[in-house]
Structure 1
Amino acid sequence: MATHLDLEEQEQLDQLKAFWKQYGNLITWVLILALGGYAGWMGWSNWQREQSVKAGVLFEELEKAAQAGDVEKTVRVFGDMKERFGRTGYAQQSALLTAKLQHEKGQGEAARATLGWAAENASEDEYRTVARLRLAGLLLDEKKYDEALKQLDGASSKEFAGLVADRRGDVLLAQGKKDDAKAAYLQAWRAIEETVEYRRIVEAKLAALGAAPAEAPKADAFSGAGK
């Protein structure tokens, strides 16, 4: 019996050797790639956490400089943030904060450039939309209406659809396109939640144009904005 078992075990061992000889290298490489991928993922996660911590420290420095009104230091730190942590949420927040200070200090062109960077490079759609909203506001103040509308065309975050339509109405009204402005404000009024106080402001704009929401046309969208 023992001899029979030994022969059976030897046969299984021979089969295992033959299998490993044929597929051993492939299996080894698959395991190496799998383990390497896992190690890489862990390393990437650790690197991301480390980057986030460093970016957070730099953002605190920028925030303090902005609160102190030190535009030169704020811009300098923002430049460092863009170069080292340009894809992080901190870089996006830094851009908005820097542009705000630049605008307050009368540096309109620099503020537009900073917002333009955020509008094109922010990794999250919400930040890109906010940047475009603010940029459109600056362009509206400078009576660059077509450029402002172009920025709003690129503002695609659904969460800010109401505010985008409201700003579009402001631009169209400044262009003297009252009917298109009414339609844009109506779209904004319908998109903004009833509980949001800003909805009252949009309602007031409609009323000033003789188009209070209860009397406004039923169309959900406006047309002919660029005509």
Structure 2
Amino acid sequence: MREVDEAVRQDQLTSFWQRYGRVLLVVLVLGLAAFGGWLYWQQHQQSQSQAVSEEMDAVLATTAGGGEPDAKQLDALTKADQPGYRASAQLLKAGLAARKGDNKSAIALYAAMAADTGLDQPYRDLALIRQTALEFETLKPQQVVDRLKPLAVEGAPWFGSAGELVAIAYAKMGKTDLAGPMFAALAKDSNVPQSIRSRARQMAGVMGIDAVEIPAEPTEG
């Protein structure tokens, strides 16, 4: 009986292999090819990312040194597949345009970034703030508030830049009851850049709000 069982199993295995063997081989080969392709793609992506990173470093180094980065290289970086590098290059390009006095081009670049859903929200928010700062004198104060009020919240990443513009817009509308407290909040927020805090402290004082922080007295231990 044991010999019969073994013969039956062997016959079943042979039949199974004859029927499905080629299919299994094809599946195995395709699986290995797909895995090999995935490994190649990962290596290719890593290599591309490294190359873009080196180009971005070179452009930033040139700009930091007061030089003018290569226009073609910067344009290529603004179209990079990696959203982070693309956003950084676009911000740099817009900033250079503004520095040259070409506000029209800078505003267009910032507006395109703010509308680009392929970029992370912090980049889009920063672009909107810079766009609004360049357009500030041509916008109605209420337009500034409508744009930036969602970002002018204590604890938000861009509270300093957005909050200052919103507070100034409130002041231009004569709404000192809203402008004063916001200036005071900016002045007391340690996460806000010191330059903004100093200006906010002065503006709060003008509006009759004391925004000077008094250091706490040490407790006796």
User: Aligning the two structures, in what range does the TM-score lie when normalised by the shorter sequence?
Assistant: 0.5 to 0.7
CA RMSD of aligned residues (A): 3.9
Q: 1:152 aligns with which of 144, 148, 151?
A: 148
Report SS of the residue matched to 2:158: helix
Contact 2:83-2:120 within 8 A present in 1 as well: no
Report SS of the residue matched to 2:208: coil
Cα deviation per residue 1:14-47 (whole Å; 9 max; x = unaligned)? 4445666787788778766765664454344323
- Seq. identity, %: 21
Q: 1:180 aligns with which of 132, 155, 178?
A: 178
Which residue of structure 2 aligns with residue 208 of structure 1?
206
Structure 1 residues 43 and 97: alpha-carbon distance in aligned structure 2, compared to 1, 3 A threshold:
same
Normalised by the length of structure 1, the TM-score is 0.66
Which residue of structure 2 aligns with residue 104 of structure 1?
99
Worse-matched range after superposition: 108-117 or 161-170: 161-170
Tell me which of the two structures has the higher relative contact order, counting C-alpha pairs closer than 8 angstroms and 6 or more residues apart: 1
**Is residue 121 of structure 2 the alignment partner of residue 125 of structure 1?**
yes
Structure 1 residues 105 and 56: alpha-carbon distance in aligned structure 2, compared to 1, 3 A threshold:
same
**Is residue 162 of structure 2 the alignment partner of residue 164 of structure 1?**
yes
Contact 2:144-2:165 within 8 A present in 1 as well: no
Taking the TM superposition and a 5 Å limit, the aligned residue runs for 1:61-80 are 61-63=58-60, 66=63, 67-70=65-68, 73-74=70-71, 76-80=72-76
Q: In structure 2, what residue type is equivalent to 1:103?
A: A
Which residue of structure 2 aligns with residue 95 of structure 1?
90
Normalised by the length of structure 2, the TM-score is 0.68
Structure 1 residues 199 and 134: alpha-carbon distance in aligned structure 2, compared to 1, 3 A threshold:
closer
In terms of fraction of residues, the more helix-rich structure is: 1
**Pairwise CA distance, 1:189:** 5.8
**Pairwise CA distance, 1:108:** 0.5
Contact 1:165-1:188 within 8 A present in 2 as well: yes
**Pairwise CA distance, 1:195:** 8.6
Contact 2:111-2:127 within 8 A present in 1 as well: yes
How far apart, in 2, do the equivalents of 1:26 and 1:207 lie? 81
Structure 1 residues 98 and 175: alpha-carbon distance in aligned structure 2, compared to 1, 3 A threshold:
farther
**Is residue 74 of structure 2 the alignment partner of residue 45 of structure 1?**
no
Which residue of structure 2 aligns with residue 134 of structure 1?
130
Q: In structure 2, what residue type is equivalent to 1:48?
A: Q
Structure 1 residues 105 and 162: alpha-carbon distance in aligned structure 2, compared to 1, 3 A threshold:
closer
Which residue of structure 2 aligns with residue 217 of structure 1?
none
